[in-house]
Amino acid sequence: MIYNLAFLAFCTGLLLFLWNAPPETTIKLPNDEIHARFHHMKKRDAEAFCIKCHNPKGTAPLPKNHPPKYRCLFCHKVG
Ligand code: HEC
Ligand code: HEC
């Protein structure tokens, strides 16, 4: 009985914890002319293009404090 109650308490706690997780704040992949075609590609295929513009010498360099940029679309969600 005690264990059942403890388990129940644990589950409730976990649920509340997940419920209160902050909303995703990272900006999504823009839905403009430049990025439109990437919305219909496989993630990995699309990511090969990102760096062509988003590099220090490109048209849209990443901010200096940008987090590790491996796999763009895991953080910058499509849609
Ligand atoms: C042809 C050049 C080009 C390519 C390729 C490209 N981008 Fe961009 N990106 C831009 C430019 C220019 C801007 C700034 C203007 C804008 O928001 O469209 C930008 C802006 C952004 C922003 C920020 C939008 C904001 O609100 O500040 C994100 C995030 C982004 N791109 C992600 C990506 C990802 C992920 C890929 C690869 C799937 C990618 N871009 C491919 C040119 C490009
Ligand atoms: C680990 C998660 C992560 C990955 C992977 C990632 N980013 Fe970001 N990116 C962020 C965060 C966080 C910011 C800061 C702005 C914000 O609050 O969204 C950011 C900012 C940007 C901005 C600037 C937006 C602005 O308004 O100044 C661009 C452009 C961008 N990322 C493009 C890319 C590209 C292209 C890749 C892949 C080469 C990439 N990101 C990979 C998390 C990520």
Domains and CATH numbers, the chain: 24-79 (1.10.1130.20)
Residue of minimum CA distance from atom 40 in ligand 1: 50
pTM for this prediction? 0.84
Which pLDDT score, from 0 to 100, does residue 50 have?
A: 96
DSSP annotation of 20 reads: T
Q: State if residue 48 touches ligand 1 by the CB under 6 angstroms criterion.
A: no
Whether 23 shows a pLDDT value over 80: the answer reads no
- Amino acid symbol at 46: A
Tokens of 62: 């990443």
**pLDDT tens-digit series, residues 30-48:** 999 999 999 999 999 999 9
Instruction: Give whole-number Cα distances, 73 to 10, 19, 46, 69, 70, in Å.
Output: 33, 24, 9, 10, 9
Q: State if residue 51 touches ligand 1 by the CB under 6 angstroms criterion.
A: no
- Residues whose CB falls within 8 Å of the CB of residue 49, separated by 6 or more in sequence, listed in order: 38
Nearest to 43 by CA among 29, 31, 54: 29
